Structure 1
Amino acid sequence: MAGLARPGGVRRRVQVIGAPARIRSLLRFRSFQSRLLVFFLGLFVLVQASVFLSVNAANVRNARQQIDEALDVTASVFERVFRERTHRLLGSARLLASDFAFKKAYATRDHGTILSALENFQGRIGADAVMLAALDRVLIADTQHPQRTGTSFPFPDLISAAEESERGEAEAVVFIESRAYQMVVVPLLAPMPEALLCVGFLIDDRLTAELQGVTSSHVSLLRKTGDGKWDLFASTLPGGPRQRLPSDIRGTGDGAVSVGGGEEYLSRVVVPPGGGRGAEVIAVLQRSLIEALRPHRRLQAALAVLFGVSAAVTLAGGIAIGRTVTRPVLALARRARKIEEGDYSEQESVERADEIGHLNKSFNHMVKGLAERDRVRDLLGKVVSAPIAEELLSKTIELGGEEREVTILFSDLRDFTALCEGRSPKDILSLLNTYLTRISAVIDGNGGIVDKFVGDAVMALYGAPLRHADDGERAVRTALGMMMALEGLNAEFLEQGLPRLGMGIGINTAVVVAGNMGSLTRMNYTVIGDGVNLASRLEGLCKKYGVSIVVSETTRALAPGFAYMELDRVRVKGKSEPVTIYEPLGEGNRVGPHVLGEIEAYGEALGLYRSMQWERAGARFAELKREFPERFLYHVYLDRAAEFVRNPPGGDWDGSYTFSEK
């Protein structure tokens, strides 16, 4: 679309304060004495903390090593106990399987006779469960359930393991009615296998307590349920940790398992013999790290007392040393606060020959220099803009300049002569100062610099001497703000019976020379260059197109956050190359759809005009003139189209218009 420049995104600067900046902020002390105290105490605390942490780390490391060694022993004892129980079960089961009397009882096939023999055997060896199963995995007799017979054997995996073994025997941890049993199975030979004899010992808190008594370690046994969770069925842990342990299991690898309550246990997870068959069973062997560290706490308490006493002594010494230094420094600080308020009158002498005395003398000389500089700054600030004054005062003043990209804004009042008619010079100056004060406030508010006032004209700079990343946007925003300020001023003039004022603003961005210009005795900070002249010419074109603001294509490219109407391609007086000029209509996100519709229609008409379709272009501009009679731009193009119908331009016409006057 020829007439519309799409608004771009507006970048916002976000200042992020990093960790180093926060640390520096915390280290800014309100007094020198505090700095000394913090230094001495900080150094002392650093040394003491290093010692304390080193001792504590050594204690923890030693305790962990001792616990690791104890858990290794506990794991060996645990496995040995389970192996011994397995050997007892296997020996007893083999004895019964080869007993002639039992084989005779089995040969009767009488359930009561077989059950009686199994119960008698169970009582002799102290077993907790005895079963007899047929080779087809049918239960023959069960001492825990005397009436049960002829049903499926409850542990088929155990029988499968026995069938796969060389001796026809197997072991496993099984569960009968939620109770764990260490179970073995052996064949009943007559002489070929006739049945399978199963014998088991109960696994409960009595076994884990026995293991704890031998190893002084906590022992917990858990099984994995069908939903993947762990169920605790035997443990020496107290109530709270016992309840929390199943949820703390994260696998079967070694590592620290926290059981809550602020107490950490170092743990070893092992699989008991037979725990991988049937039900998945693990044993968690644990020792409390806090219990292991208890003997070292007395040493830590003694170190803490020594640390506190030493800190108090260091603090007292730091305060005594700090006062001898801070008293004269505080006196200088009080004088500095008065100087900050603009009071340079107080003079104070410190009768000391050391560094503090030299500091006081240097301070007095500095105060004299500051007083003189403030007088110069106040005077200079009334003549030029404050940033320019800072630029002049911050470096050696000399003639010359530097090339830099600057956005230049020119503004000029319209109809000011009519306002001056019949009024005294004093009244005119008062009105002009009121206008310039309002306009300067807008320029300052957007970070611009007032370069000079020439009657009712204003020249402002963006990018010199101070540079911002968004100088182009600042200049366009200033122009729109100046028009709003003028509307407010016209409202006040209307109440006073004064005529309305108009204003033209031209903005251009270019590489110019910025610096001090003039003579060795009288100089001025300003900018010069072809780009400055173009900005002045653009301000003059406002009257030609009936608009208040004209910006160049270079400025528009630097300020994409606004909606623009392309006015024309022109050659201003003194330039051979054409320049595309635009009128900013406002912030891109604040322009209404009716304005966007007008821009679109205007863009179509401008496209016809540049493609040399004069009659069609004239018709479109005539329609726009009827719809928007207040916009003078359409009158301009309607007249041009009519003229080109009568006198067409040459074949080398590039769509631009040449102005021969300023």
Structure 2
Amino acid sequence: MASKKKVTIRLSLVSLMAVLIFTTSATILGVSALLYRNSINWVLEALSQKVVAHVIDRVLISSPDKLDTVSASAAIREIDLSSNGKILLLDENFTILASVERKDDELLPDRFMGREIKLNDSGDELLVRSFEKFKANVQKKNRSVKLLKRKFDHFPFWYDFQKYFAIYIDFQTQTGKEYYAGVVVPYRDYFSSLTRNNIILYSLVVLFVAISIYVSLRMSKRISSPLTILAQETEKIRNFDLQPGNNIESPILEVENMAESIDRMRSGLKSFQKYVPSDLVRELIHMGKEATLGGEKKNLTVFFSDIAGFTSISERLSPEDLVNFLGEYLGNMTRILMQNKGTVDKYIGDAIMAFWGAPLDMKDHAYRACTSALKFQEAQEVMREAARKKGHPDFFSRIGINTGDLIVGNMGYEDRMNYTVIGDTVNLASRIEGINKNYGTRILIGEQTHAQVASEFDTRYVDLVAVKGKETGVGIYELIGKKGEMSSNRASHLEFYEKAFHLYLQAKFEAAQELFHRAKSFYPEDLACEIFIKRCTQFIEAPPGDNWNGVFISKEK
């Protein structure tokens, strides 16, 4: 699918609101401008009608052949002019016949009456400028100065940094003689209130735009923020991060419903997570693939743990206490495994099976398994102390760890599968866990595991054992702790034990037995020393054959 340019919903909403705001504002301003122009036209039209009524209709009716300047002068003085306006009458030669002038609302005498002064010689620059503008307008309109009868023209112009409006009306007597009536008024006399109202209106429009932008931003945020959070929450779920998310509140019902659906999906996936490895599900979601049957060969480390004597412990606890104990034990131990990136395969009663190296690849899977085993034992000491205080029976668990090639993948059938591991490595790990009880140890690891962690941990070569079902012996090692944390007594015990064991493998049983005794003196509770002391005694009394290779055949699973 071709990629398309994406925009955020907030940007879309803001853009839509901006279009609506500016469209509304432009409409208001357009209507205001139209009303403003019409208002000016109405005022000037009304003023021109006054001139027509006083000069043309009254004077020409009484004297249709010739304009009576005295009567005309008296007539125009009756016009309700603005406080600083001027009116003049001109003949066709532009001679001033009569004039009216107001100064600060005071009606001044007609200074041109009977003088027959040309307009250009009047010395009134304002009137001259207005009439020149009138003639220029006539020429622009491609018509002669002789306008149609009773035709008027009005226009604005600037003089001495002030705005004025002029009205010129031309009219004729019955004999065809032409006259002009002119009115010049300052803009502020008639239109200051209109301008003020316009300024107020424009200010209100600006305020409306500002408030609308603010409201639109707030509304877009209220709408887009929940959607942004929803996108973030779905991305978290996509990454299988199922921690409680942000509370989503929206004025939109559909968004609220979507948020509730996401919460229900999160709850469902959290329940699902308890049945399958979360790393596996996270990888499947990330890859966008459906789980299918199949497996692959990988080198992994497998972990088995089991509570020693769990049957007798369960008989001594009430069902409620047993359930609580198992819940706490399995919960604490599982958290340790998961903190070290382990995949919990299954629980079998009190037993736990886990592995490292799948579905997440890791080079240090053996190290992580051994670290988990030691943390396992530390956590159990805390639980044992709490159990003793409650009067519950004491307990401890045994752990077996083995590393090797095996098959890992989805086993089962199409509608019900389990992500697990199979192979000899798994079986041997289970056998190693069981062998712990023979030697009184808590954590035993296989040869390949030991080879990968020997530089990180203190270990003891316990025995060479052929587990049940196998003829070839494998070395098993006790995991003691991290390098440098072993006590001096335990270090001495370990030194004598390993020397004794090497003598034992060389069939030097008397020397080996002596060193086993020395080793036991540093660590009296070591059951492995007792076992080898007894074996040495047996072999001293009944030496093994020449084909003896030191391998102990285990008959227990």
Give TM class, smaller chain.
Answer: 0.5 to 0.7
Partner residue, 2:356:
462
Distance 1:328 1:533 in 2: 62
1:356-402 Cα distance to aligned partner (Å, 9 max, x none): xxxxx9x9999798567535422211223322332454421111111
1:655 aligns with 2:550: yes
Please, which of 620, 623, 626 is the counterpart of residue 518 of structure 2?
623
Distance 1:379 1:386 in 2: 11
Distance 1:393 1:372 in 2: 18
Q: How does 1:323-472 map to 2 (within 5 A)?
A: 331-338=223-230, 340=233, 341=245, 348=252, 373-394=265-286, 395-472=289-366
Distance 2:9 2:494 in 1: 64
Please, which of 458, 483, 495 is the counterpart of residue 600 of structure 1?
495
1:344–1:647 distance in 2 versus 1, CA, 3 Å: farther
Partner residue, 2:447:
553
Distance 1:591 1:626 in 2: 17
* SS of residue paired to 2:392: coil
1:610 aligns with 2:502: no
Distance 2:382 2:413 in 1: 41
1:494 aligns with 2:388: yes
Long gaps (5+) in structure 2: 1-7, 12-212, 234-244
Q: How does 1:469-548 map to 2 (within 5 A)?
A: 469-548=363-442
1:587–1:31 distance in 2 versus 1, CA, 3 Å: farther
Partner residue, 2:461:
566
1:536-572 Cα distance to aligned partner (Å, 9 max, x none): 0000000011100000111112223111111011111
* SS of residue paired to 2:271: helix
Partner residue, 1:591:
486
Are the equivalent residues in 2 in contact too, given 1:508–1:554 (CA < 8 A)? yes
Report how far residue 637 of structure 1 moved: 0.5
Larger C-alpha radius of gyration, 1 or 2?
A: 2
* SS of residue paired to 2:336: helix
Distance 1:402 1:547 in 2: 33
Distance 1:511 1:628 in 2: 36
1:634 aligns with 2:529: yes
Report how far residue 520 of structure 1 moved: 1.8
With normalisation by structure 2, the TM-score equals 0.55
Long gaps (5+) in structure 1: 1-29, 34-320, 350-360
Partner residue, 1:58:
none
Distance 2:338 2:351 in 1: 16
Distance 2:556 2:276 in 1: 32
1:630–1:552 distance in 2 versus 1, CA, 3 Å: same
1:327–1:563 distance in 2 versus 1, CA, 3 Å: same
Are the equivalent residues in 2 in contact too, given 1:377–1:389 (CA < 8 A)? no
Partner residue, 1:177:
none
Are the equivalent residues in 2 in contact too, given 1:512–1:529 (CA < 8 A)? yes
Distance 2:278 2:226 in 1: 28
Aligned residue type for 1:502: F
Distance 2:522 2:487 in 1: 17
* SS of residue paired to 2:402: strand
Distance 2:218 2:544 in 1: 85
Report how far residue 404 of structure 1 moved: 1.2
Q: How well do the aligned residues superpose, as a CA RMSD in angstroms? A: 3.3
1:391–1:425 distance in 2 versus 1, CA, 3 Å: farther
1:426-480 Cα distance to aligned partner (Å, 9 max, x none): 2211111111111112112211121111000000111111222211111001111
Are the equivalent residues in 1 in contact too, given 2:466–2:551 (CA < 8 A)? yes
Distance 2:475 2:391 in 1: 40
Report how far residue 338 of structure 1 moved: 4.9
Distance 1:31 1:589 in 2: 60
Are the equivalent residues in 2 in contact too, given 1:564–1:584 (CA < 8 A)? yes
Are the equivalent residues in 1 in contact too, given 2:249–2:256 (CA < 8 A)? no
* SS of residue paired to 1:501: coil
1:523–1:392 distance in 2 versus 1, CA, 3 Å: farther
Higher relative contact order (CA 8 A, sep 6+): 1
Q: How does 1:44-55 map to 2 (within 5 A)?
A: none
Distance 1:597 1:620 in 2: 11
Give aligned pairs, total.
Answer: 336
